[in-house]
Amino acid sequence: MLRDITIGQYFPGSSAIHKLDPRMKIVLTLAYIVMLFIASNPIGLLIGILFLVFTYGISKIPPRMILKSLKPVVPIIIFTSVLNMFFIDGTPLVAFWIIKITLEGVTTAVVMSIRIICLIAGTSLLTYTTSPISLTDGIERLCNPLKRFKLPVHELAMMMTIALRFIPTLIEETDKIMSAQKARGADLETGGLMQRARALIPILIPLFVSAFRRADELALAMECRCYRGGEGRSRMKQLKIHSRDIFSGIFVAICIVGVILINVYAPVILPM
């Protein structure tokens, strides 16, 4: 299960999505999230799904990566679907004792599940196709106006990117610790909830120690390289907006306008 978590991983490539400016990719990701949640018509939601399939096809990210990114959120999707299916009033489809499944509940469960899947897959594409350094530069440049309010924009962007970058590392470390504990006879998969929780203590302690050790080593390495924050820092690669970035922005804007027009002229209300 831990090996299936792909959050924060970067897959090098030369596709058109990889070559986009990181600032544009961040903005387009936010625009895609907006497009998903303003779609109040099945056709508008279908546009969001087709857009996601199209971008993954261009990026040449293997389809199995999508499945891996979705596996950790499957319990959340199931829990959300069950809540919507059994606790929303409407036209009854199945009624047994205190259990009642309504048409509106099923519709809401399906729509919310699709939105969560598209949301996770769409945001995962940002980290799949953007290196941590480019992501840091993009976040920092987008947040530059906040410097007027004396906010440490560069440091905040660096912290966010380092945290995202070390998610796969900590997952790999956790997997190694669990394998080592199992080799020593630890039982991590049987017993009740409290027993499983107690079994995690021998895993959490070395994991925290490893995380603090890595943080100390990283801080020491940055100090040895005379890192002093963003003040006076130069960049080897300058960010520039190219024609492909403009065309991508126009394409996403057309999709959003299309979803809005469908909402206006074909008002089939979906659960928000």
Q: Which residue has the higher pLDDT, 88 or 36?
A: 36
State both tokens at 8: 């924060």
- Region of residue 191 (phi > 0: left; psi between -120 and 50: alpha; otherwise: beta): left
Question: Which tens digits make up the pLDDT trace of 91-131?
Answer: 777 777 767 777 777 888 888 888 888 888 888 888 888 88
| pLDDT at site 179 | 81
List % helix, strand, coil for the chain (3-state, nearest 5).
Answer: 70, 5, 25
The model's pTM is 0.76
If pLDDT is split at 50, 70 and 90, which confidence band does 232 have? Answer: low
Pairwise CA distance, residues 103 & 26, whole Å = 37
Under 8 Å CB-to-CB from 104, ≥6 apart: which residues?
88, 89, 90, 91, 271
| pLDDT at site 25 | 92
- Cα of first residue to Cα of last residue in the chain, in angstroms, is 31
Pair 81, 72: CB distance under 8 Å: no
* DSSP E strand stretches across 92-249: 92-96, 99-102
Question: Which tens digits make up the pLDDT trace of 217-231?
Answer: 888 888 887 777 666
| pLDDT > 90? residue 250 | yes
H-assigned helices in 39-152? 42-59, 63-70, 74-87, 103-128, 132-142
| pLDDT > 60? residue 269 | no
| pLDDT > 60? residue 2 | no
Question: Which tens digits make up the pLDDT trace of 183-219?
Answer: 777 766 666 667 766 777 778 888 888 888 888 888 8
Query: CA distances (Å), 87 to each of 40, 99, 160, 212, in order?
Result: 21, 9, 37, 44
